[in-house]
Amino acid sequence: MKDTKTLTLDDVKRIATAAEREALDQGWAVTIAICDAGGYPLWLQRMDGAPAMSALVAPEKARTCVLSGKPSKAFEDMINQGRYAALAMPVVPLEGGEPIVVDGNVIGAVGVSGVKAGEDASVARAGVAALDGAEG
């Protein structure tokens, strides 16, 4: 057996605040979703002006990361390189989801949707980075 850290509500708020700050600084209206290691939602925030569909897509990007342990972009790249069979996987193959990895374990993920794929990913990474050095 091994011990694994879990996200607290304070962690989730720190992640969401950092992600929102990045989106606001860039002038992007997005939805930010954070899930735990099981893919269950801990946070959903749809900013003013974010597309309605982004509230469905962002949590699925996060869930994709915890199911696979990879950024959701890995699946988009796979499909773009011709591995169309990946479309049958239970994941959302769109960039914008980033796993939260602590001590080598995926303990959650951030999914962002609403702007260009790389911009979504930038917001998600800003959220994940808010935990750097915060683990105790």
Q: Where are the domains of the chain?
A: 9-129
Residue 43 has pLDDT above 70, yes or no: yes
Q: Which CATH class is domain 9-129?
A: alpha beta
Residues in the chain: 136
**What is the edge-to-edge ordering of all strands in the sheet holding 41-46?**
41-46, 31-36, 105-113, 97-102
What is the Cα–Cα distance from 112 to 45, expressed in whole angstroms? 10
86: alpha, beta or left? (left if phi > 0; alpha if psi -120 to 50): alpha
The pLDDT score that the predictor gives to residue 2 is 86
pLDDT band of residue 136 (cuts 50, 70, 90) is very low
The pLDDT score that the predictor gives to residue 134 is 60
What is the Cα–Cα distance from 89 to 45, expressed in whole angstroms? 26
Cβ neighbours of residue 24 under 8 Å, at least 6 residues apart? 47
